[in-house]
């Protein structure tokens, strides 16, 4: 079946603008994760959904970042008033369940560049 | 403060030889460890995992060793192939305390033909 997909693959925006990044998880996967990867770093956890609810949003850097998963499938990561420091690859992953040993399957990421 | 460290940013190995990638962690609550491989412009893909109740897990050419007392794990690839050239991330989780993986910064492996 299809893997995790993310759109757009690349996004260039200007400082101060609003952006939305979309993630389509593997069908049937109940858990969905957002990570951010900066150059030379590993993925950094942002937020995790179990079903429709955000089970852990402790990784969101500030209140400019918000994510939703209204129907328990597709998720959107929203960034308000973007800053140059937000430039990174935003990765989405999904897993069958939310156990700490469940394999997470990653999408290809959205490369965000804030000018 | 990095909880998962991969102190070698890069590693070059000759085809057919063994590749050894190292990972150290600081959080003693971590009880599940994984290795992910990442090619350019793709997301990380799961490679192999190990639970803290084991000290070794093997899957084909890939073996992960865990030394809990040293808070150290390593990934061995034998024999190395050019297609193994990628960035390898070590990740850890504390299963009883949440579902988040903490990733290391990665090691870029180059397998030379």
Tens-digit pLDDT profile for residues A10-69:
999 999 999 999 999 999 999 999 999 998 899 999 999 999 999 889 999 999 999 999
Residues of chain B contacting A26 with CB distance shorter than 8 Å: none
- Partner B contacted by A93 (CB < 8 A): yes
Say yes or no to pLDDT of A99 above 90.
no
CB-nearest to B105 from A4, A42, A55 is: A42
State whether the Cα torsion A97-A24-A49-B95 is positive or negative.
Answer: positive
Choose the weakest-confidence range: A51-60, B13-22, B96-105: B96-105
pLDDT of residue B107: 97
Q: How many CB atoms lie within 10 A of CB B113?
A: 8
Point out which residues pair with A32 in neighbouring strands.
Answer: A49, A94
Q: How many CA atoms lie within 13 A of B67 on its CB side?
A: 10
In this prediction, residue A12 carries a pLDDT of 98
Q: Which residues pair with A76 in a beta bridge?
A: A22, A68
DSSP secondary structure letters along chain B? --SEE---SEEEEETTS-EEEEEEE--TT--EEEEEEE-TTS--EEEEEEETT-SEEEETTEEEEEETTTTEEEEEESS--GGG-EEEEEEEE-GGG-S--EE---EEEEEE-
pLDDT exceeds 80 at position B95: no
The whole-number average pLDDT for the span A77-85 is: 97
Q: Is the CB of residue B77 less than 8 Å away from at least one CB of chain A? A: no
Enumerate domains of chain B plus CATH numbers: 4-98 (2.60.40.10)
Residues above pLDDT 90, as percent of chain B: 87
Give the 3-state secondary structure of residue A86.
helix
How near does any CA of chain B get to the CA of A76, in Å?
18
How close A80 comes to chain B (CA, Å)?
24
Residue A95 falls in which region: left (phi positive, over 0), alpha (psi -120 to 50) or beta: beta
Select from B36, B43, B98 the Cβ nearest to the Cβ of A100. Answer: B98
> Measured between alpha carbons, how far is A58 from A71 in angstroms, rounded to an integer?
22
Q: What share of chain A is helix, strand, coil (3-state, %, to 5)?
A: 5, 50, 50
**How far is residue A55's CA from residue A1's CA, in Å, rounded to a whole number?**
27
DSSP structure class, residue A103: P
State yes or no: pLDDT of A100 exceeds 70.
no
> Which of B41, B96, B99 lies nearest to residue A108, judging by beta carbons?
B41
Residue B100 pLDDT class (50, 70, 90 cuts): confident
Distance CA B67, CA A23 (A): 36
Topology annotation, domain A5-114: Immunoglobulin-like (2.60.40)
Each residue's pLDDT tens digit, B33-85? 999 999 998 999 999 999 999 999 999 999 999 999 999 999 999 999 999 99
């Amino acid at each position: 079946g299809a893997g995790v997909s993310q759109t757009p693959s690349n996004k260039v925006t200007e400082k101060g603008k609003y952006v939305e990044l979309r993630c389509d998880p593997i069908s049937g996967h109940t858990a969905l994760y957002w990570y951010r990867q900066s150059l030379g770093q590993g993925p950094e956890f942002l937020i995790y959904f179990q079903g429709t609810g955000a089970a852990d949003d402790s990784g969101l850097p500030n209140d400019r970042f918000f994510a939703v998963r209204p129907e328990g499938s597709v998720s959107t990561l929203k960034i308000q008033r973007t800053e140059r420091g937000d430039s990174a690859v935003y990765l989405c992953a999904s897993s069958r369940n939310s156990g700490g040993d469940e394999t997470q399957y990653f999408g290809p990421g959205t490369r965000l560049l804030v000018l | 403060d990095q909880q998962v460290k991969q102190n070698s940013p890069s590693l070059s190995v000759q085809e057919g030889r063994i590749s050894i990638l190292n990972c150290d962690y600081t959080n003693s609550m971590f009880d599940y460890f994984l290795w992910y491989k990442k090619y350019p412009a793709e997301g990380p893909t799961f490679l192999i995992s190990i639970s803290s109740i084991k000290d070794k897990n093997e899957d084909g050419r890939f073996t992960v060793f865990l030394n809990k007392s040293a808070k150290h794990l390593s990934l061995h690839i034998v024999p190395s192939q050019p297609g193994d050239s990628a960035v390898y991330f070590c990740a850890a989780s504390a299963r009883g305390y949440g579902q988040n993986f903490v990733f290391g910064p990665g090691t870029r492996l180059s397998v030379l033909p």
